[in-house]
Amino acid sequence: MLIWLASNFSIIDTPSIPSNPGPHLDTEYNPLFDIDIVVSMYKEPIDHVEWGLKSIRKIPGFQTQRLFIYTKDENANIEAINDAMRPFKVIHVPNVGREGETYLRHIVDHWDDLAKHTMFIQADIHNPREFIPRVRDYFDAERTGMLSLGFPGNVCDCANCGDRFGWHDDTGMVPSLYKKVYQTDEACNRDLLSYKGQFIASARRIRGVKKEVYEDLWKAIRDPNSWAHEAKYLRGRRDEMSAPIFGYTLERVWGLLMQCSDLEIAWKCPTLLSGKRRGGSKADCQCFDETSNGT
């Protein structure tokens, strides 16, 4: 308990740090669908993936949705996937870029067809026993803007961003991306990192960031000649198109991309294992789609 308090309340000692700007929301976009589920799949057993999706479909509000399955297995049995999971669509894609490439591909390809909310997940859901309660307890069909479904709490200094897992932003991507996402010349101070490559985001929030930001990141991770695969970025680290080093960075900046770097989440949001915080609220673990006028 003392360890949790120390790690989650560390940012209280820095009240002078300004908050990030409010999100840019595309309030003019009118989605035709309420929920999409985007699954990044490789060679995971079909019955295992089917079990996870059945669990999700039992959550109130998730019974009716479009299911997109992107498979990166060149020998994937598309017929078996269709029979088992009855998706809206199965898309066979090259085995490049890990789940980050899948999510960027979906956002770019479905820019004008995004659902009100999209759940982005890997076929092998991380922490499945805690994942379902997190969605059930915190997802709000009217207000959720971005809800991370990984563990919370890691905040970094934008100018020297890194974490205890050995990842470090050597090229200054975080402060650069911050300016593009928030459309500002102001410097980034602190950033809330995201993990596990699983989250829910609204179309309003996704489309509030310029499409070219996603397109540039998509090209960086899937183009073998891009800066993300050059020696200057890799710094001696082994890189493969199927498991690029840049994929680990992308995993950590989804919160930033979705304009959800609220530092209060770091200490208010309980761990996945602890579930809900006594006296807490749905706002503890996510960013709501609210403008400066509270709408």
Write out pLDDT tens, residues 214-263.
999 999 999 999 999 999 899 999 999 999 999 999 999 999 999 998 88
Mean pLDDT of 267-273: 88
Residue 91 covered by a domain: yes
Least confident of 3-7, 101-105, 251-255, 286-290: 3-7
**Count of domains observed in the chain:** 1
Nearest to 14 by CA among 148, 165, 153, 155: 155
Residue 28 covered by a domain: no
153 versus 50: the higher-pLDDT residue is 50
Residue 199 covered by a domain: yes
The CATH number of the domain holding residue 103 is: 3.90.550
pLDDT at 267: 87
CA atoms within 13 A on the CB side of 193: 25
Residue 9 covered by a domain: no
Residue 235 covered by a domain: yes
Residue 107 covered by a domain: yes
Residue 86 covered by a domain: yes
Around Cβ 137, how many Cβ atoms within 10 Å? 14
Write out pLDDT tens, residues 203-215.
999 999 999 999 9
DSSP label of 166: S
Nearest to 157 by CA among 127, 133, 130, 190: 190
Q: What percent of the chain has pLDDT over 90?
A: 79
Domain of residue 258, residue span: 33-274
List alpha helices for 87-224, DSSP H.
98-109, 128-138, 173-182, 203-206, 211-222
pLDDT band at 277 (very low <50, low <70, confident <90, very high): confident
Residue 1 covered by a domain: no
Write out pLDDT tens, residues 59-74.
988 987 899 999 999 9
